[in-house]
Structure 1
Amino acid sequence: MATREEARHQREAKLDELHEKLTGAVERLVTGDDWADALRFAARFRSRSFNNVLLIWEQHQAAFEQGRVPEPFPTYVAGYKQWQQLGRQVEKGQAGYQILAPVTGRFASANPSDPASWRRLNRGEKPKPGEVVRSKMVGVRPAYVWDVSQTSGDPLPEKPEPRLLTGVAPAGLREGLAGRIEAEGFELLWVPHEGMIGGANGLTNFETRQVAVRTNMGDAAQVKTEGHELAHVLMHGPDAEEARQHRGIGEVEAESVALMIGAAHGMDTSEYTIPYVAGWASAVDGKNPVEVVQAAGERIRKTAIDILDRLDTVQVPDGTPPGLDRDTPRRPSERPEQRSVASAVEAESELEPAVGRGL
């Protein structure tokens, strides 16, 4: 049995390995086609952090090339015990996909407004009378998930998938995006032609609090542009200094959000072009393209989710197996290491610890 020190070194090694995989995946995104593919993929796995989406994608591709899975893209992924909850079992010899799971700690304070007053509670320790308790991420640990194609057992419940006629936006999407734009305090204007908005498809004006979209293009293109401008509203206000200094960043972020919104509704976005990531990423002083892509990817995903979660529309599944209870309590990890990792992922409570499986 490994000692505590040996277990710590093993965990450190796994985190280093995951970081190398992630960096390699991001480096390969610095082309327009790869960026578009990654965003379409992220739209189907939007419940997970952008970094973990890339890790799953990278490892599933390798499994496909090795003949361990039948399709090049995963459909549903979950932890070992979660598949068992659904009446399915990971097949013998199927290695799980390593991802980064959060390590959280409980903190207490009698004066929450004072950052220095918070103290971490030990396991089982109760707060003092009058103290407020909050949890926050203090590090990450390796964890495993498996695609449904790596399991066998009971069939999954079917979920409705959007069906879209070419050139037509899905029912309710135009109205839903319009409602969100107006809820953010902007007036939505549908203008007859691009000559009224400087030759653009759409335009967001933070001074007049107006969003304009031209109507002399197809229905799907209008709605895609509506999503693009809503992303500007949410992401690129007067305080977004970096995007305002480098317009390319703001334009690619907005177009990427629009692509994810469309992909989540089954829309064919192949006719829309995302500018080459290398072009805008390399223009940011003091950062290399990998750093910019990592930062943009998670911002794009969170903005797209914020929009999608408030829409009353039929959307493609988010990568969580149908019928899975997301509120199932997870087993606490044993003495987790408090280690920060660049671009650490947000909480994904359904993950299995990377212990003893798929190694």
Structure 2
Amino acid sequence: MTKYIKKSKEDKKKEMDQIIENLQNGVKEVFTSENYLNYLKFFSQFHNYSFNNVIMILMQYPIASRVASFKTWNKLGLKVKKGSKGIKVLVPIPYSYIKEEAVTDEFNQVKYDRDGNKVIEQTEVKGLTFRLGNVFDISQVEGEIPSLINELKDNPKGLDKAIESLIASSDVPINYDDTLNSNTAYGYYDLNEKAIYIRPDLNSMHMFKTLIHEKAHSMLHNKDQNKYTREEAEVQAESTAFVVCNCLGFDTSEYSFGYIASWSENKDLKELKVSLKVIADTSNEILNWIEETTELRGVDNNLNNMKEVI
């Protein structure tokens, strides 16, 4: 057996800082790839939704990731699958009209012109009203869609057992959803039920990473919080999953770098930079839960196996 040596707080912080630096550098490299240019061209045509609309979308369709109108999908050369149910959103309708008011003086007395008529001032009033509209998620359409991510295929020895222990011990219910597949999602956090759902046919490495991603969502993002944009929330969740996995000796860069790049508005990684403390604190909390619940331990150097306590 390999002896597990508990790390000091200083060593843990150095390791965390190095992993986060690797994360930032890895995501930056994605931005220089040809795949990113194709991806950017495709998704630059999507609309950014308000916080309230994002909550509406996720409460109706928890696995939603990218949504657009029927018309937009057609414009992109993709077809909404027959029988797909629309997701309701609030569509802003701008309006304007000319308002006429009598001009008053400093004593609030109405002014008159030389002919004895009231002096009238016209101003344009602008505003917004809303109506319900339908959008459809990317999982509800057919056609070739650019992607920056690759499913993780590894099955590290013993990781299945660790996943079972985490599912059994989680304060947030974690369930398998048999309806999820390669055309939908790997997992999701249900805002209504406050429960995590994971695709059951994933290899253990991707299942573990997905569990951590959704666990981070359950800790940081719910319908009662509006601190973060959808982009920030996704970057925080996947960055946490990357950090936790790397601290345990598992490399998820093949998936995580592209995923984080896809949710970053531009190459300055604003969403990641403003979230570094949140990511570090959440990662530490999840790592403590994993170490208390399973035999998984933080790794020394680049040893990619599990440590056992003797």
TM-score range, shorter chain: 0.3 to 0.5
Which TM-score applies when normalising by structure 1?
Answer: 0.37
Higher relative contact order (CA 8 A, sep 6+): 1
Which TM-score applies when normalising by structure 2?
Answer: 0.42
Larger Rg over CA atoms: 2
